[in-house]
């Protein structure tokens, strides 16, 4: 049932930062998987680039180690590994230096797709873009891929956009948000726009509210110093949750094409109301059980950074008039769970006795774990007890419905890198989208800073602070279990 693999065109992909964490954990193992699956043609070449001095063989050995460390044995094909490693080469370059660039130019071919992955700190994006032009390496049709964080506020995002725009057109820039590469996120669009069933109900008249949750079990240990300068709002809400919100709330685009989809997402961001402080809960985890506290994980004595945020927001347009969207994300929560849940309204009038109960339909789209879709439907409780209503799941786990091969669908990075080679920007953020998201986020953060707002505590391993539950209770609603 898993769709046919269509090979992409031959390409030269230069990975700047090829010795770094992201390249080793995601990009290179992802490319190897696409190669084994027959999607990466034999003529494709991957060129690693970073300051470390090493030859091709040492780089290939590093990549082999990374594949063996970060891919489970069942996802590895020993036969494909040797052939994949033969597609690799390495050039030592310093973004700030002169050496190595001529070698890189000599490695590139004219007649294949050309892509440059900037898997380096954002401070290097501008320098790399300039070097690629100075040494006449990047062609007019070259593509560049950049990673989050895309700025830390509107000002820095604009600067980054301007730096890239000095050397590349928007059509050449692929800003990755790996949430958009997830199978279920794309399925959200298929469910909404490939069925007549849901779209007529997808509005304020029938939807009571929407909950978007991205809960993580892990704490910030290991990247605490970085995280402490960022927090859940910058690290998760401004990008990942915002993208999920946009895909849930947007109008149907005329076509499934990059600018048609991105225009609609942008309209959602621009329609977001400012959020009142009373509609936001910021939390920070405290030690509990075996888990250390946020402060210990972040190696900070004091910190006002939030590791949890819950908020109620409104999309001010006809479709969503007065329908709240509740967003929630946090670290060190009870379990790892990401979902988008549409709570429909109760029937306008019940024909049954009051003691039959009144139920509402709930559609949940699970991103992780166990990707799938679950629709709760009201039926009669079986048996002789008269008319009593219960709700039952129409639960479709993709793995159950589509067979075990579905577990083998490409992960988000694999899919997105292939989209870069295909030249398809639909699942990448446009510059104006990123800026609009910061324009909405900045005043919220500025208000916390002006008030000296402190996050409230929650126990590591819990569902988050009590105050987040109260945010819902106030509206006579409840969060879904994490």
Active-site residues, by number, are 240
Query: Using an 8 Å Cβ cutoff, are 249 and 325 in contact?
Result: yes
For residue 93, which phi and psi values (nearest 5 degrees)? -140, 145
Binder of ligand NAP out of 57, 58, 121, 190 (CB under 6 A): 121
The string of DSSP codes covering 308-349 is EEEEEEEB-STTTTT-EEEEEEESSBSS-EEEEEEEEEEPSS
Compute CA distances 435 → 420, 430, 458, whole Å: 22, 9, 32
In this chain, which stretch among 66-74, 115-123, 150-158, 435-443 interacts with ligand NAP, using CB under 6 A? Answer: 115-123
Separation between Cα atoms, residue 458 and residue 465, nearest integer Å: 5
Compute CA distances 264 → 195, 236, 245, 419, whole Å: 19, 21, 12, 20
Separation between Cα atoms, residue 250 and residue 96, nearest integer Å: 42
Binder of ligand NAP out of 45, 51, 133, 286 (CB under 6 A): 51
Cβ at position 300, least distance to ligand NAP in Å: 20
User: Mask of contacts with ligand NAP, 193-212, x by CB under 6 A?
Assistant: --------------------
For residue 68, which phi and psi values (nearest 5 degrees)? -70, -30
Closer residue to ligand NAP, CB minimum distance, 226 or 350: 226
User: Mask of contacts with ligand NAP, 60-99, x by CB under 6 A?
Assistant: ---------------------------------xxxx---
In this chain, which stretch among 44-52, 303-311, 355-363, 417-425 interacts with ligand NAP, using CB under 6 A? Answer: 44-52
User: Torsion-angle region of residue 446: left (phi > 0), alpha (psi -120 to 50) or beta?
Assistant: alpha
Q: Is 442 in the site for ligand NAP (CB under 6 A)?
A: no
Q: Is 224 in the site for ligand NAP (CB under 6 A)?
A: no
Cβ at position 124, least distance to ligand NAP in Å: 6
Number of residues that bind ligand NAP (CB under 6 A): 23
Site for ligand NAP in 7-26 (CB under 6 A): 16-23
Beta-carbon contacts of 170 under 8 Å, excluding residues fewer than 6 positions away, are 430, 431
Q: Is 120 in the site for ligand NAP (CB under 6 A)?
A: yes
Q: Is 147 in the site for ligand NAP (CB under 6 A)?
A: yes
In this chain, which stretch among 48-56, 105-113, 373-381, 464-472 interacts with ligand NAP, using CB under 6 A? Answer: 48-56
Helix (H, G, I), strand (E, B) or coil at 241: helix
Residues in contact with ligand NAP by the rule CB under 6 A:
16-23, 50-52, 93-96, 119-122, 124, 147-149
């Amino acid at each position: 049932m898993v769709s046919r693999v269509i090979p992409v065109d031959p390409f030269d992909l230069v990975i700047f930062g090829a010795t770094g964490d992201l390249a080793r954990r995601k990009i290179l193992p992802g490319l190897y998987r696409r190669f084994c699956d027959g999607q990466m043609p034999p003529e494709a070449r991957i060129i690693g680039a970073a300051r470390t001095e090493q030859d091709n063989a040492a780089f290939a050995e590093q990549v082999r180690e990374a594949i063996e460390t970060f891919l489970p044995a069942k996802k590895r094909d020993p036969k494909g590994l040797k052939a994949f490693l033969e597609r690799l080469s390495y050039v030592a370059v310093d973004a700030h230096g002169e050496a190595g660039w001529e070698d890189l130019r000599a490695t590139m071919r004219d007649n294949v797709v050309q892509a440059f992955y900037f898997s380096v700190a954002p401070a290097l994006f501008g320098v790399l873009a300039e070097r690629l032009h100075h040494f006449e390496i990047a062609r007019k049709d070259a593509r560049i891929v950049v990673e989050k964080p895309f700025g830390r506020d509107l000002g820095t995002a604009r600067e980054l956009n301007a730096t890239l725009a000095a050397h590349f057109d928007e059509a050449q820039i692929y800003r990755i948000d790996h949430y958009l590469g997830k199978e279920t996120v794309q399925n959200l669009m298929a469910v909404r726009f490939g069925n007549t069933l849901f779209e007529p109900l997808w509005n304020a008249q029938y939807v009571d509210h929407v909950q978007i949750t991205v809960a993580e079990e892990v704490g910030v240990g290991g990247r605490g110093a970085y995280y402490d300068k960022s927090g859940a709002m910058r690290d998760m809400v401004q990008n990942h949750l915002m993208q999920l919100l946009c895909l849930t709330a947007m109008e149907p685009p005329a076509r499934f094409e990059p600018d048609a989809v991105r225009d609609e997402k942008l309209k959602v961001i621009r329609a977001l109301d400012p959020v009142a402080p009373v509609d936001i809960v910021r939390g920070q985890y405290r030690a509990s059980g075996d888990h250390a506290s946020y402060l210990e994980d972040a190696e900070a004595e004091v910190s006002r950074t939030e590791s949890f945020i819950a908020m109620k927001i409104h999309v001010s347009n006809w479709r969503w008039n007065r329908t709240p969207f509740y967003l929630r994300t946090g670290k060190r929560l009870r379990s790892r769970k990401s979902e988008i849940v549409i709570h429909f309204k109760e029937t306008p009038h019940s024909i049954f006795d009051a003691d039959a109960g009144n139920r509402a339909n709930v559609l949940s789209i699970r991103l992780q774990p166990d990707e799938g879709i679950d629709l709760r439907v009201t039926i009669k409780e079986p048996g002789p007890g008269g008319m009593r209503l219960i709700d039952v799941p129409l639960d479709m786990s993709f793995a159950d419905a589509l067979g075990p091969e579905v577990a083998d669908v490409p992960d988000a990075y694999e899919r997105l890198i292939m989209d870069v080679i295909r030249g398809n920007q639909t699942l990448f953020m446009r510059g104006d989208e990123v800026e609009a998201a910061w324009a909405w986020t900045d005043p919220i953060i500025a208000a916390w800073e002006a008030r000296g707002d402190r996050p409230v505590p929650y126990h590591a391993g819990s569902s988050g602070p009590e105050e987040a539950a109260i945010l819902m209770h106030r509206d006579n609603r409840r969060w879904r279990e994490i």
